Chains A and B, each alone.
Chain A
Amino acid sequence: SQQGEEDPQALSIQEGENATMNCSYKTSINNLQWYRQNSGRGLVHLILIRSNEREKHSGRLRVTLDTSKKSSSLLITASRAADTASYFCATVDTGGFKTIFGAGTRLFVKA
C-alpha cells in the first residue's frame, strides 16, 4: 500500500512560474520528506519536515505540513527548466525506520 498520494500526477508550467505539489497520507508520521528523481536516475533528497513543524524553507523550496489534515505541500518558486523531474513525498513512520513513498508528481518546466 502507498501511504502518500500526490496531486497532481503531472504538471506542466512555464519557466519562471511557481509549481505546487500536494501530498496526503494516512497514518501518524515521524517526519515527511520530499525527493526529486530525474529520468532514469536515483532519488535526491530535497527537504525534510518533522511532525512538529508546520513550514520549512530551503532555497526556492517551501514545504508545509498539516498533521491534522495529514497533508503536505511542496512549492517550487521561479521554476527553471532544470527543475523538470518527478517529485515524491515520503513519510517515515513513528518508529522512524520505515519510509513509504507516494506515486509522485511529474513536473515539466518549459523554457
Chain B
Amino acid sequence: NAGVTQTPKFQVLKTGQSMTLQCAQDMNHEYMSWYRQDPGMGLRLIHYSVGAGITDQGEVPNGYNVSRSTTEDFPLRLLSAAPSQTSVYFCASSSSGRTYEQYFGPGTRLTVT
C-alpha cells in the first residue's frame, strides 16, 4: 500500500512552459485535493475532487487545471507557468466523501524561472 504518490519530486520550468504534476492513491479514496505551500505559509487549496468526473475550484485555482477520470489519479496541469507558481505542491486524499483526515503525498517542489 503506497498511499499517496506524487511525481516528479522536483521540477524546474521556464516561464510560459506547461506541465502536469501527477498524483495517485491506492486507497480507493473518493476525495482528492491539490494544495500549494509557499514559504512561511500554510497550505492553500487549488482544486479538489469528490469522485471520478467531479472537480471543483478551491481558494487559488487560477492558472491550474485538473481532471479526474479515475478514482486513483488526480493530475494537476499548469497551463502557462509563471514565477508566482514557484511553490511546493501537495496532493492529498480522504477516505470519506468529505475532507476528513486527509492523507498527503510527499510533495513536488516546483521552480519557475
Contacts and interface: CB of A to CB of B under 8 A. Distances in A.
Interface residues of B, number: 28
Given A1-B59, A96-B98, A103 B40 contact: yes
Contacts, number: 66
B98 A30 contact: yes
A45 B101 contact: yes
A97 B99 contact: yes
Given A42-B104, A98-B58, A99-B33, A2 B45 contact: no
Contacts of A99: 33, 45, 99, 102
Given A42-B90, A42-B104, A92-B98, A101 B43 contact: yes
Interface in A8-38: 30-31, 33
Interface residues of A, number: 25
Given A30-B98, A42-B90, A98 B45 contact: yes
Contacts of A48: 100-101
